Structure 1
């Protein structure tokens, strides 16, 4: 029996040495692999099959595994891994299986720089010892950054701090958070440290100067105004070396500088994985669009948003929760809009709960935006101002607005694009909160915001050609032709009605069109978009079902055509 133990002890000593050598060989070989699985597989195979076969018939009892060197797994997790390999009449194969299972438990838990070995030992009393070598970070460096603070990058990837055993699911989340900034890409590279079992990490940075600007010239005008607009935006995305973003925007009418003037400012602060955004708009226009913000009203808006990225079950899906409030102070309008009966000043404070989701698949992308807006007179709202602005309007109001977009790649690189938007409410809204249709983003062939309503919907379908840039010069990065169909519906609750139809408010609009488009994206952020539309349907009816005797100002009619254009740059 003593002789058998000596042979077993010798074999365990040999296997332990080979385990360490083999693990460090794999360590050096896999250091150049992707950061997602930089050292996956260290120590997962230990030579010794021949020795195991020799003693396959030599059995001994195993009543306990003593694990040394662990600081990251719980006792329960360790027991779960080795429990199947306890009992009487066990062999050296069972010891190896226990070692492998325990090591696999570390890896499945996300600790990929940890491996397990079998130390030299005597098997006494049914106790087997296993040693855990935790691959801690010996040195962390940031290389290649030109415009971003090295210390700030280190602070945002705390899982790679020196002396720490990295948990790779957390590493992936922290790297993804750092890489949200479009001007900076950080990739971790791991290699063996100078000390056995230790790891050195380089955070390689590929960054660009975080200043962005855009300019656009278009013909997105509203009734009774000049026919072109010039808009621009300037944004810096690394203020204070803290990823703070500050931006300024404007929109003017080049043909008459005093006709439309809209200025906006934004400030975004990242905080603990979330974002705080503040913005302000000063508008001298009844209806305008500055960037992604549509403004209905002549006055000032000051807003605050809290944006919380929510956990996602898959990498291809991300979604955010948004909470916000806007202080809106509108002056007298230059014309009556929507269902408004007056153009008197109005001040109120609406709140917003929003949800945004994006799903990116190999052949499709889907985006959903939902916003629930509500307001109450308990704060700054005044019932009298609402009543003077519109018949039956109240300072307590709410509505739900949303939009769903889907792009699908067809055979031969054709694309289908669909968009469905809408708004529902049980209240009579002032024009500043109504749903509008008409224009480049809703129903082409009509002027911008040709019709407004309390509830409504808009539908867009496009068939896009395969990429055609190969037929143009090398400066063209993407070019497609497209055919489209647009539809819009808007309805007003409780419109003001009189015996003479000429004085009654329009209750319902139905607009539709079809046409062809050309979309070009060129070098240096240059872009050109042309859409030629023909009006298919244009109707406006009163509550009694009659067509309104007076056509709304600037309203296109069936058979009318219009060319929408925009040209500019975005970098």
Structure 2
């Protein structure tokens, strides 16, 4: 017999095995089970191809835990220097006259900052009694002091000479010249457009010029990742009451490459992930950021692209994001089905800080999100069968989602608190898929996240996290909440539970056991406890068990260029896992190397 005959026979037997397995598989995973109306959600989570896996899809993320003492701001005197003397006011009355006058009241002209009552209170001691001309000058000095005490150091008051002073009572005019900025000079920048800095200083230096607002603007720029150092000097302008602000700034390195190795992906497509990422935080000199990343596992390839453009001097931004993923299930025994998936994710986000100080930020934002996925299996070569994923039509899921989010961050020298709330609305627009009953493209969900970091001692941190999702109906897998894995409940495989609603809480202590100043790094011991519970909407069966809990211990190394982490989680609730991977044995690792250029 020929070699071709044996090869053909081998292919025939392989195809026959695939068909037999497919019949058994589809017999076990009935449509009702796939739709998660009955049955065990754990089986669905193992059997269905989570492509792309939920942890790889855009989800609201809180800032990474940062020691509250960083970044540090320099003292105000290093950021801002003022002249010793202000510009003398225009012509005033001579101070050597010894005659006395009586002032019934003062009329302050040109003040836009203080009310009439505040101005009257400042000059009250000089009214209703005989005063000398020297005391009259002190009345204008009192108005000047009122301004300077509130930070208006380039504003001043004087008594015009072209008025009549009555010895038996009358009204005396006090003229106020409120300070303004004549020009803003920016020096020292190379790639970053000087208008980026100038515009952010300009919004804080409107008339009348307030040094406190100017200092706050300088502090915000000092905290900006694009800026390495910044300082300003205030000098007298060419006209009375005007100032010139001289800014000197230097830039941080903005281009970097990052390599990441971890085992944080779902085992169905291979848990070990390799990733390379390139970041340019100032692509065109506008403060615009570009990030491109490629990641793969044994069964997936993933490309991420994002571009962020500042659109106003109040740090409002527009961000464009794109993700493309191809995946195959490589986990036994489902690998013989040749389950393949493709997904694309488009998003455009506008984010605007409403309140922004060096210690507090509150921002609002909106995201328009398009999500497409196509999952199929191929039991025979060239014979594609749509995979019956919940909410899909012929294996395809298409969503159009509007998301409204709110961010809050509060920071002081010992702690950082960050919170995020997001409302997601699935809308029936742009050719979405509707299966006729939940889950489909129409839904409403709320996602809330919070994180609190407390500095207990030098490099000793307490980290508390919480994450929750509530949905008004059954959700397609792309929008469900995943519990299990390094980012949630350690000790279990990634996304062991995928449900419509969930609550997750975690507590972690980071205690330094080794400091390496020569390497700029610290090694921390990280005991932790994690807990999460999950349930479904629209009468879908809940998973069994529907709660996960674990305790564990980890090691965390942090330095300028290398961040490495190893966690060992011990599950407290049995999940009947097969323990085929490090994840299922509660072991997680991550190694990130960053190289700036």
The TM tier, using the shorter chain, reads: 0.7 to 0.9
- Three-state SS of the structure 2 residue aligned to 1:468 is strand
* Cα distance in structure 1, aligned partners of 2:159 and 2:219: 37
Spell out the pairing of 1:172-571 with structure 2 (5 A cutoff). 172=215, 174-175=217-218, 178-179=221-222, 181-184=224-227, 185-192=229-236, 199-253=243-297, 256=298, 259-272=299-312, 273=314, 274-285=316-327, 298-311=342-355, 315-332=358-375, 344-377=395-428, 380-384=431-435, 387=437, 392-411=438-457, 414-466=460-512, 468-469=514-515, 472=516, 474-494=518-538, 506=543, 508-523=545-560, 525-539=561-575, 561-570=585-594, 571=596
Asked if the contact 1:309/1:321 (under 8 Å) is kept, the reply is yes
* Cα distance in structure 2, aligned partners of 1:534 and 1:160: 53
* Cα distance in structure 2, aligned partners of 1:268 and 1:180: 18
**How many Å apart are 1:286 and its aligned residue?**
8.0
- Three-state SS of the structure 2 residue aligned to 1:489 is strand
- The runs of 5 or more residues in structure 2 that have no matched partner are 1-75, 89-94, 330-340, 378-385
* Cα distance in structure 2, aligned partners of 1:160 and 1:357: 22
Q: Is 1:124 aligned to residue 161 of structure 2?
A: no
* Cα distance in structure 1, aligned partners of 2:195 and 2:83: 25
Q: Is 1:114 aligned to residue 158 of structure 2?
A: no
CA 521–164 in structure 1, closer or farther in 2 if over 3 Å, else same: same
CA 342–156 in structure 1, closer or farther in 2 if over 3 Å, else same: closer
* Cα distance in structure 2, aligned partners of 1:560 and 1:142: 56
* Cα distance in structure 1, aligned partners of 2:239 and 2:127: 37
Asked if the contact 1:318/1:358 (under 8 Å) is kept, the reply is yes
* Cα distance in structure 1, aligned partners of 2:389 and 2:529: 25
Asked if the contact 1:298/1:333 (under 8 Å) is kept, the reply is no
- Per-residue Cα deviation, 1:322-345 (whole angstroms, up to 9, x for no partner): 111111111116697996798710
- Per-residue Cα deviation, 1:438-487 (whole angstroms, up to 9, x for no partner): 11110112222121011111121112214631xx3611423211101111
**How many Å apart are 1:87 and its aligned residue?**
3.8
* Cα distance in structure 2, aligned partners of 1:342 and 1:511: 32
Please give the TM-score of this superposition, normalised by the length of structure 1. Answer: 0.74
Match of 2:140 in 1: 99
* Cα distance in structure 2, aligned partners of 1:180 and 1:382: 45
* Cα distance in structure 2, aligned partners of 1:73 and 1:433: 51
* Cα distance in structure 1, aligned partners of 2:236 and 2:513: 46
**How many Å apart are 1:496 and its aligned residue?**
6.1
Of the structure 1 ranges 94-103 and 336-345, higher mean CA displacement relative to structure 2 is found in 336-345
**How many Å apart are 1:403 and its aligned residue?**
1.2
Of the structure 1 ranges 473-482 and 190-199, higher mean CA displacement relative to structure 2 is found in 190-199
Match of 2:335 in 1: none
* Cα distance in structure 2, aligned partners of 1:213 and 1:270: 22
- Three-state SS of the structure 2 residue aligned to 1:101 is helix
**How many Å apart are 1:359 and its aligned residue?**
0.9
CA 249–124 in structure 1, closer or farther in 2 if over 3 Å, else same: same
- Three-state SS of the structure 1 residue aligned to 2:439 is coil
Q: Is 1:149 aligned to residue 193 of structure 2?
A: yes
Asked if the contact 1:147/1:208 (under 8 Å) is kept, the reply is no
Q: CA RMSD in A?
A: 3.9
Which has the bigger relative contact order, CA under 8 A and spacing at least 6? 2
* Cα distance in structure 1, aligned partners of 2:529 and 2:201: 48
- The runs of 5 or more residues in structure 1 that have no matched partner are 1-31, 45-50, 288-296, 498-504, 540-550
Asked if the contact 1:490/1:508 (under 8 Å) is kept, the reply is no
- Three-state SS of the structure 2 residue aligned to 1:534 is strand
Match of 2:129 among 75, 78, 89: 89
* Cα distance in structure 2, aligned partners of 1:246 and 1:340: 34
Of the structure 1 ranges 445-454 and 183-192, higher mean CA displacement relative to structure 2 is found in 183-192
- Three-state SS of the structure 2 residue aligned to 1:209 is coil
* Cα distance in structure 2, aligned partners of 1:434 and 1:235: 30
- Three-state SS of the structure 1 residue aligned to 2:141 is helix
- The number of equivalent residue pairs is 488
Please give the TM-score of this superposition, normalised by the length of structure 2. Answer: 0.71
- Three-state SS of the structure 1 residue aligned to 2:124 is helix
